[in-house]
Amino acid sequence: MRHTLPIAPQFYVTAPQPCPYLDGRMERKLFTALQGDSAAKLNNALSQQGFRRSQNVLYRPSCTDCAACLSARIKVADFQPTKSQKRTLRRGHEIIRKASSPWATEDQYDLFRSYLGARHANGGMADMDVYEFSAMIEETPVRSRVIEYFESENKSLIAVSLTDVLKDGLSMVYSFFTPHMPSHSLGTYMILDHINIAREADLPYVYLGYWVPGSPKMDYKAKFSGLEVYSGGQWRVMSDPASFKPDNHPLSTDPIAEQVANIQLPDDRST
């Protein structure tokens, strides 16, 4: 018997679990499978509505009593580097960039383990083995690239970004870097380099994932000019990070049925 995928994607909600960003809160995600011939269209459409990709899943925070997580992107045309960011670019002028199809390597995994050990030893990925890591890198139904950065002198791998190429920009799905070069600010350097790549490709945005006001882990994203956050169903220019507070009002999150009803799905007739 022949089976076909549903015409419209089906949305589900995860069970609540401790929030990795704000102490004492619980997180919940709204998600859908990313598969079939329309995967790229769905990824494009939902990325513009605050969703993120993880392997074959698109998800967006949908916590019961908190709306702190805000999807963030940089508008390339409005970005102006700070003095500190200019110094980061100068320090990285000898870093070698290499872009390739999404394929996991032992060097990537070793760097990933080193990064987690230094930055996220108690995080949700701390127990990820090499097979799960390979799946994270390689299981993608959309146009993705692995962008590697090498130290020019000894050609050692120092940073990696798994990046999706969207219709309107680059989405930095996940990135990691060596903890042994703090003076190079490699996390910031990769974002700055992605802004340059997007500019060269005439793509208007670089998607950074979620910014969480009140979370020290996410403060660095607010330091980029041209930043927009997805709040209240639309993208808003973030001129003052202090104006966004971790909203934990019990009515701050719409019911799931209303959230799903308001999602704009791609038109199969569109290009």
pLDDT score at 65: 79
d(CA 199, CA 102): 22
> Domain for residue 254, yes or no?
yes
Domain range for 256 is 11-69+247-261
> Domain for residue 30, yes or no?
yes
Which of the residues in the chain have pLDDT under 50? 1-5, 269-271
> Domain for residue 255, yes or no?
yes
> Domain for residue 143, yes or no?
no
> Domain for residue 62, yes or no?
yes
pLDDT in tens, 186-241: 999 999 999 999 999 999 999 999 998 888 888 899 999 999 999 888 999 988 88
d(CA 35, CA 47): 15
> Domain for residue 178, yes or no?
no
Number of domains in the chain: 1
pLDDT score at 232: 83
pLDDT score at 4: 45
pTM of the model: 0.90
> Domain for residue 106, yes or no?
no
